[in-house]
Structure formats: C-alpha cells, structure tokens
Amino acid sequence: MAYPSVISQKGSAARNVEPVLAALAPLIKPPPAAPSQHTRPQPRPTPARRVLELASYPYEHILAYAAAWPEVEFSGTVRDEREAAGVGAALPANVRAPFQLDVAVDAEWDLLRGAAGEGYDGVIMLNLVHCMPEGGVEDVFRNLSPLTPGGRRLLAPCGWIAAYGAYLNDDGSFRSAADEKFDAEHIKATHPSLGLRTPQSVTALANKWGFDEVVRADMPKGNLWLVWQACTRSEADMTGRESWIASP
C-alpha cells in the first residue's frame, strides 16, 4: 500500500467490542419481519451465514464475532505476511485463516473472489474507510459492488457493508476537540494522505457503486456506525432483507 496502517489506539478494541457486537446483531440475526398488509406472503429476513471483515489485524474483533455467533463463518483480511504471521494458526472452527489484501490491488481482490464461493452476506470495516485516502475508499466499494463488470460477485445479493469509526461532521467540522487531536496526532502524523473523512464523502462513493446508506447511528466516544446496501427489487423479494435493513 502507498500508505501505512493506522492501528487503533491501545485498549480501544476492548472498549468498543460490545457496542460493535450490539450494532452488528440485527445484521447477523435480523429480527422477525413486521406484520404486513400485503396480500401475498412477504419473505422473512435472512440471517447471515458468511461474513467478511476487512483490515482484521490483530483479529481481536473477529474472534469476538465468532464467539457471539458460532453458527456464522467469519473471514478476515490482513495487509501483508507480517500481519498474517501475527494472527497465528489457532483459530476457532468458524474463523478462516486470513486473506492477504491490499485494497488498491485488483489482483488481490480477484483472489479473494475466487475463494469466496457464493459470496458474503455482509462485510465489516472497523477503523478503515473513515480515514483512508479517497482512492482507497472507492477501491473498497468498487470491488464489493454489483455494478463492477465481469467476474464473480464478492457480496451476495442484498448484502450489506457496515463501518465503524470516528468521522468529521458532514460540513467538514470536527465532532469534538478529542477527534481533532486524534486526527492530527494519530492519523495525519502517520501519513499526510490520511485523515478523518465526512460520512457524506464516503456515502457519495458508495452511491457511485450502487450502495445506499441505510443506517447511520451514534456510537460511544463520538464514533459512528454506518451501513450501506445494494439491493434491487428482485433481490429484495428473494432475500427479504429490504424489509428490515432500512429500519431504524
């Protein structure tokens, strides 16, 4: 990659794992569909079976997902061999060995597609698109998009993408003095191309590749939880997901 990893501050994973699990719960195991007045039966929400996390190192979060939902298969990515070695081999039965992925390298996305089978029901990104260069953000949505021509889809029909992190306000201002300090001392100090982004700028790139922002929620310590989904009417009828994912 043309820029270094921004590893979360020490102790942040332990602090945010429970809020992240709570936010993920309705995506992994959606609640029953609400009663409908439609004359024909409505599809029931579909639980996730296979979920991918991007930028998983050092695997703290993905191990928590696996413990919370042992019936779901989780896959993670790391950026290089050093991170892969740091994960280790003693993983739970429902966690696959990490894939090496530089989000800017299409050939590595192609390898990931080849291993994905029928595709992932959802993708999780913690502390990734909220601060990476714009080109990297677009690489993520382009490679997950159903609009990308040719090849096998990485995200299953009506699949979701969920992201957690610190963001600017949509007008470009900082959400807090702590975020301004974090941006200057921890992110931009790592590499000048990095820096907190607005949710609107990320969603604009998601929209370009067929995704709609369907959830935006405040999280502890001023962070945000964002969910995007690309779902045609025929796919919604097939999966039942449109009936629940857009609910507040």
Provide the pLDDT confidence category of residue 35 given band limits of 50, 70 and 90. low
Q: Is residue 148 over pLDDT 80?
A: no
What is the model's pLDDT at position 31?
A: 78
For the chain, give every domain's residue range.
Answer: 122-248
Q: Which CATH number describes the domain made up of 122-248?
A: 3.40.50.150
Contact predicate 138/204, CB 8 Å:
no
pTM of the model: 0.87
Band of residue 157 on the pLDDT scale cut at 50, 70, 90? confident
Contact call for residues 174 and 187 (beta carbons, < 8 A): no
Tokens 């191309």 -> residue: 193
Mean pLDDT of the region 16-29? 94
Q: What local confidence, expressed as pLDDT, does residue 247 receive?
A: 46
- What is the per-residue pLDDT for 183? 87
Higher pLDDT, 246 or 143: 143
Tokens 């941006």 correspond to 183
**Would you state the pLDDT for residue 127?**
86
- Alpha carbon dihedral 131, 135, 141, 143, in 10-degree steps, equals -130
For β-strands 99-100 and 120-126, DSSP reports them as unpaired
Across residues 126-154, what is the average pLDDT?
85
CA distances from 201 to 115, 147, 169, 214 (A): 31, 19, 10, 15
Q: What mean pLDDT do residues 48-67 have?
A: 95
**pLDDT for position 129:** 87
Distance CA 65, CA 71 (A): 10
- From residue 88, how far is each of 4, 72, 80, 248 by CA, in Å? 22, 21, 13, 38
Confidence (pLDDT) at 248: 40
Alpha carbons 167 and 125: distance in angstroms, whole number: 14
Residue among 56, 216, 64, 43 at smallest CA distance from 123? 56
pLDDT confidence bin for 92, thresholds 50/70/90: very high
